Amino acid sequence: MPSHTTGLTHKPKKTTKHLPQWNLSDLLADPNNYASLFKELDQHVTRFERYRAHLNSGLSVRRFQTILQLHETIRILTSRLAAYAQLWFAQNTTNQKARALDTTMKEQITACNNRMLFFDLWWQRLKPIQATRLMKHAGSVRYYLEILRQLTPHTLTEAEERIVNLKNSTGRDALDMVYDIATNNFSYTLKTGRSTKTLTRETLSQLFRHPAPQTRQAAYQTLFQVYANQKDIIGELYKTIVLDWKNEGTILRGYSSPIAVRNVSNDIPNQAIHSLLQTCQKNTAMFQRYFCLKAKICGISSMNRYHLHATQPTSYTRIPYPDAIKIVLEAYHRFSPTLAEKARRVVTSWHIDARLHSGKVSGAFCYSVLPTLTPYVLVNYTEDARDVATIAHELGHAVHSMMASHHSIFTFHPTLPLAETASVFGEQLLADALLQQANNRRLRQHLLMSQLDNLYATILRQAYFVIFENQAHEMIANGATIDELGKQYLKLLREQFGKAMPIPEEFQWEWLTIPHLFRTPFYCYAYSFGNLLVLALYQRYQEEGDSFVPKYLQLLAAGGSQSPDALLSPLGVNIRSTQFWQAGFDRIEQMVNHLEQTVS
């Protein structure tokens, strides 16, 4: 293996803005020694391959457990290697050494996964009575094995699965990297009056909330001009990713639809997601009503999409990073000292990167690598009040996986539909704490609008991304052009906002700016699912008080060890019911009513 000198320090350090950089030494103590780890990985996989001859219907429980333990050892090592490469790349997508290492890691891990495919395929072919006998002794890996068997109808032969894995490493995965490299390296030249500034995506996005209407408009126009200029390249990337998704998912594997690929992997019935999206479409008028109220409060005489994130003139404040951490941890502590302590560990372990610089991946994420390892959190902290909510959100992801650290690496991650539960609940804790402290009408208006803005962004907006994806996948399969996709996206935007908010033409290119559409098709309904679920759970918390806390912690502690249905049923949640999803919107309507009372 070639040697890469990473240039990363393992000593925690601060930037000139006193924002932390994460410490990756917990993943690899010596980042230049990864070649020896590949050798160790190869030895483990070679040992695993020897068990192929022993796989039969009469496999002993003892040998079955030995195989599972070795499988887990291999997964732990590959997770460490993959995480190190991805986190280093996320710090600076223009770093060629980081990109090379990420590519090398993916190739090596894909090769190992291909060598181990035989076990999954054997497990899927076992007769039910034989699988049940062994499943009784699978421990915390049980649900992982159950999911494997559910995927049997969509599994190919071993040779075909190997080809697909190899194809993905240089196909879909490579396109994801190209999108990241291209878009994270965009620069934006903003002209306002006599001033001209060159900005990153994060600093430009911050101006969407600027007090001056002309600055908000200029920021959006600048963003979309850059993407419109690159629409042929970025749009073709998307079309290729969509066709690859169709070719593998519906043609080769036989899923009933493109979105069904995601639903089956999430162990969620198609009916549940249909009910969720249908309920979201029926509630567009509620948010339209809210945006009319917001225009009145913010003094916007001619409301349009440029001003979606407008704020009250007195509410544009800066919050230093240390203050943001303190505010979030206090909100968590009031609900549960246990969760607060786990969130604090992310910060004190230097597992958070808040720096803001060109080349860094935009947005925010939490990466839970191993059950025994404190998760890593990336944010782009600009001292905006919304960034405080982002920290609360990402630390919620972290504490969720930390609560489930007693599970196997195969089952400690919550399934995707439940992955947003703790993160959104953390945001609710923060919002509720701030609202309780509000001592005047103006501040209450600001806090309610912040909540409603966020609920729009994470429920209705995300649902419409998925509605667009459903239509875009069908359109692309039928030969649609990039311009036709843009027009369809604009049509759906205008459906969302109705007469409450005119949508300028350049917003037809907004879909090109959404990384989830490229990286993880149909991911975004998890946000709608998680937020509406949390609204219901938070209502329970307000009604039951402290007695609710243990139930909630138990839900988090389950991680991904059971299906979403099994985990939510004890809480009285029926995800197939439109009535359940409507209950979340009823809670939002209460907030809109409260805001309306502050205006009259």
Residue 109 within any structural domain of the chain? yes
Rounded to an integer, the average pLDDT of 552-570 is 93
Please report whether residue 214 resides in a domain.
Answer: no
Contact 384, 317 (CB under 8 A): no
User: Which stretch of 101-110, 126-135, 366-375, 434-443 has the lowest confidence by average pLDDT?
Assistant: 434-443
Looking at the chain, the whole-number percentage of residues with pLDDT higher than 90 is 74
Domain that holds residue 87: 31-162
Three-state secondary structure call for residue 375: coil
Extract the tokens encoding 358: 């060109």
Task: Provide the pLDDT for residue 29.
Answer: 80
Whether residue 349 lies inside any domain: the answer is yes
Give mean pLDDT, residues 40-47.
97
Kindly list the distances between the CA atom of residue 141 and the CA atoms of 41, 132, 268, 466, in Å, as whole numbers in the listed order.
21, 13, 19, 31
The answer, yes or no, to whether residue 74 has pLDDT greater than 90, is: yes
Residue 499 is predicted with a pLDDT of 87
Residue 442 confidence class, pLDDT cut points 50, 70, 90: confident
- Model confidence band, residue 411 (pLDDT cutoffs 50, 70, 90): very high
Residue 471 lies in a domain: no
CB 311 within 8 Å of CB 209: yes
Does 144 fall in a domain? Answer: yes
Does residue 583 form part of some domain?
Answer: no
Q: How does residue 229 score in pLDDT terms, banded at 50, 70 and 90? A: very high
CA dihedral sign, ordered 467, 468, 473, 478: positive
User: 162, 178, 199: which is the final residue of a domain?
Assistant: 162
Helix residue ranges, H only, 58-171: 61-91, 96-125, 128-135, 142-150, 158-170
Q: What is the mean pLDDT of residues 372-398?
A: 93
Assess contact for 141 and 68: CB atoms under 8 A: yes
Is residue 69 one of the residues assigned to a domain? Answer: yes
The whole-chain average pLDDT of the chain stands at 91
Where is average pLDDT lowest: 3-17, 392-406, 554-568? Answer: 3-17
- 172 part of a folded domain: no
pLDDT for position 314: 59
pLDDT tens digits for range 474-500: 999 999 999 999 999 999 999 999 988
Domain harbouring 140, CATH code: 1.20.140.70
**What number is the average pLDDT over the span 420-435?**
92
**Residue 179 pLDDT exceeds 50:** yes
Please give the Cα distance from 18 to 107 (Å, whole number): 37
> Does residue 600 surpass a pLDDT of 80?
no
pLDDT at 12: 39
Candidate ranges 161-165, 177-181, 506-510; pick with highest mean pLDDT:
506-510
pTM here?
0.83
* 1: confidence class by pLDDT, cuts 50, 70, 90: very low
How many other β-carbons are positioned within 10 Å of the β-carbon of residue 452?
21
Query: What's the mean pLDDT in 179-206?
Result: 88
Task: Tell me what pLDDT residue 154 has.
Answer: 96
The lowest-confidence range among 135-149, 185-199, 241-255, 386-400 is 185-199
Assess contact for 356 and 200: CB atoms under 8 A. yes
pLDDT the model gives residue 9: 33
Domain count, the chain: 2
Place of tokens 């890593």: 376
Helix (H) or strand (E) holding 353: strand 352-353
Mean pLDDT of 55-69: 96
- pLDDT-derived band of residue 33, with 50, 70 and 90 as boundaries? confident
Instruction: Please determine, for residue 258, whether its predicted confidence score (pLDDT) is greater than 50.
Output: yes
Instruction: Give the tens place of pLDDT for each residue, 123-158.
Output: 999 999 999 999 999 998 999 999 999 999 999 999
pLDDT, residue 16, reads 37
pLDDT higher than threshold 90 for residue 301: no
Q: How confident is the model at residue 171 (pLDDT cuts 50, 70, 90)?
A: confident
Here the CATH number for the domain that contains residue 563 is 3.40.390
User: Is the model's pLDDT at 67 over the cut of 60?
Assistant: yes
Q: Which of the four pLDDT bands, split at 50, 70 and 90, describes residue 173?
A: confident
Q: What is the mean pLDDT of residues 521-543?
A: 92
Q: Which long-range contacts (CB under 8 A, 24 or more apart) does 289-293 make?
A: 289/500, 289/592, 290/452, 290/456, 290/592, 290/595, 291/497, 291/500, 291/501, 292/500, 293/592, 293/595, 293/596, 293/599
Nearest of 575, 465, 592 to residue 529 by alpha carbon:
575
Last residue of a domain, one of 162, 182, 201: 162
